[in-house]
Amino acid sequence: MVEREVLKEERIPFEKKVKEDDELPKGELITEQMGNEGFLRSPIMYLKQMERKSVNRS
C-alpha cells in the first residue's frame, strides 16, 4: 500500500514533464525504450547503458 502511494506521487511530475516535452520526439523515444521514470531519474546512466549496448553489438 505504501509503495503504491509513493509510485503515484512520483508519476505525477513525470506526466507533467511529458506534456511539456510533447514536441520533442527524441524524448519520447528515450522514455519508451528505457521506461519513463528510469530515464528521468538518471539520464547519465541511461546514456552509459546505451554506449555499452552499442559497443557490445559491434
Q: Number of structural domains, the chain?
A: 1
Q: Residue 52's pLDDT is what? A: 78
**Alpha carbon 7 to its chain's center:** 14
The contacts of residue 37 (CB under 8 Å, 6+ apart) are 10, 11, 14
Residues 11-47 pLDDT 10s: 555 555 555 555 555 555 555 555 555 556 666 777 7
Q: Residue 51 is part of which domain span?
A: 2-57
Q: Residue 50's pLDDT is what? A: 76
- CA gap 54, 58 in Å, rounded: 7
